[in-house]
Amino acid sequence: MKQGLSTLFLKVAVIFIGIPVLALCVFLVPELADVTGKLLPEFAYMKYFVSVAFYASAIPFYFALYQAFKLLRYIDKSKAFSELSVEALKKIKHCAIMVSTLHLLVLPFFYLFAEKDDAPGVILVGLIVPFASIVISVFAAVLQRILKEAIDIKSENDLTI
pLDDT digits (tens, 9 = 90+) for 37-55: 887 788 778 889 889 999 9
Question: What is the per-residue pLDDT for 42?
Answer: 81
pLDDT (average), residues 64-92? 94
pLDDT digits (tens, 9 = 90+) for 122-154: 888 889 999 999 999 999 999 999 999 999 998
Q: Does pTM surpass 0.75?
A: yes
State which H helix or E strand residue 125 sits in. helix 121-160
Q: Are 93 and 140 in contact (CB under 8 A)?
A: yes
Is the torsion defined by CA of 146, 149, 155, 156 positive or negative?
Answer: negative
Domain residue spans of the chain: 8-160
Question: What is the per-residue pLDDT for 119?
Answer: 79
Residue length of the chain: 161
pLDDT (average), residues 70-89? 93
Listed range (6-15, 57-66, 119-128) with the worst mean pLDDT: 119-128
pLDDT (average), residues 46-74? 94
Percent of residues, the chain, with pLDDT higher than 70: 97
